[in-house]
Amino acid sequence: MAERLSHRQGPVGRHPGWPARLGPLRVGAGVLAVRKPKLSDAAAWSRIRRRDRRHLEAWEPTAPGDWDNNNAAFAWPGQWSTLRGLARRGMSLPFVITVDGDVAGQVTVGNVVRGSLCSAWIGYWVGTHAVGGGVATGAAALVVDHCFREAGLHRLEATVRPENAPSIRVLTKLGFREEGLFRRYLDVAGAWRDHLCYALTTEDVPSGLVARMVAEGRAEHL
């Protein structure tokens, strides 16, 4: 199925795997779902991002300008438009994480390459109010399964700073394997930082990550 989907393109403005709504799953923190970004997410997105600057800034690529302005509600429409444009061109699968219906973070699959590579990267962030309780793990599991099935991808990579222990725990719980160290890979917090590369392919999880979480009692289908 992955081979067939990897070369399929739907109607104009639609690509394999996007838009989509994934879940819901019950995890420790509540009812988890993943959906496409909405223009109306501006206020909730900005409130979390500005409140959690110290929690997020140390791990995200350096961006020009001021954090508060870059993450103000008025900045969201531009980001939303960019995410939607990339998704419509089949280059990205952007998602918003919700817990009990409220915005809790984002998961983005980027640099989607089809053909013989059939690969992309995955990244995520979760607000401090939703840390723990299986939110990041469950959201990433939903998106990984979706990418390997409906989106027809074969491989997903994730890069993370060696100091980011919580994110590494999420990846290892999901079964991502460490494949190497990228020296001075990204400009993060004002300096070029080393990043570990983790990866997963369809062969690693034939039954899916969500099914594994359910079987282990870490999530419940709703």
Domain range list for the chain: 2-221
- In whole angstroms, give the CA distance from residue 179 to residue 25: 30
Dump pLDDT digits (tens) for 40-85.
999 999 999 999 999 999 999 999 999 999 999 999 999 999 999 9
Give pLDDT, residue 15.
Answer: 81
Banded pLDDT at 6 (limits 50, 70, 90): very low
Name the token pair of 145. 């399964």
Residue holding tokens 């409140």? Answer: 51
What's the Cα-to-Cα distance from 111 to each of 33, 38, 53, 89, 99, rounded to whole Å?
23, 21, 26, 11, 27
pLDDT higher than 70, residue 209: yes
- Residue 24, preceding peptide bond in cis (omega within 30° of 0): yes
Q: Which of 8-17, 168-177, 203-212 has the lowest mean pLDDT?
A: 8-17
Give pLDDT, residue 2.
Answer: 29
Give pLDDT, residue 41.
Answer: 98
- In whole angstroms, give the CA distance from residue 205 to residue 143: 13
pTM, two decimal places: 0.92
Dump pLDDT digits (tens) for 153-204.
999 999 999 999 999 999 999 999 999 999 999 999 889 999 999 999 999 9
CB-based contacts of 216, cutoff 8 Å, min separation 6: none
Give pLDDT, residue 122.
Answer: 98
> 2-221, which class in CATH?
alpha beta
| Average pLDDT along the chain | 92
Give pLDDT, residue 1.
Answer: 28
- In whole angstroms, give the CA distance from residue 121 to residue 199: 9
The pLDDT > 90 percentage for the chain reads 91
pLDDT higher than 50, residue 126: yes
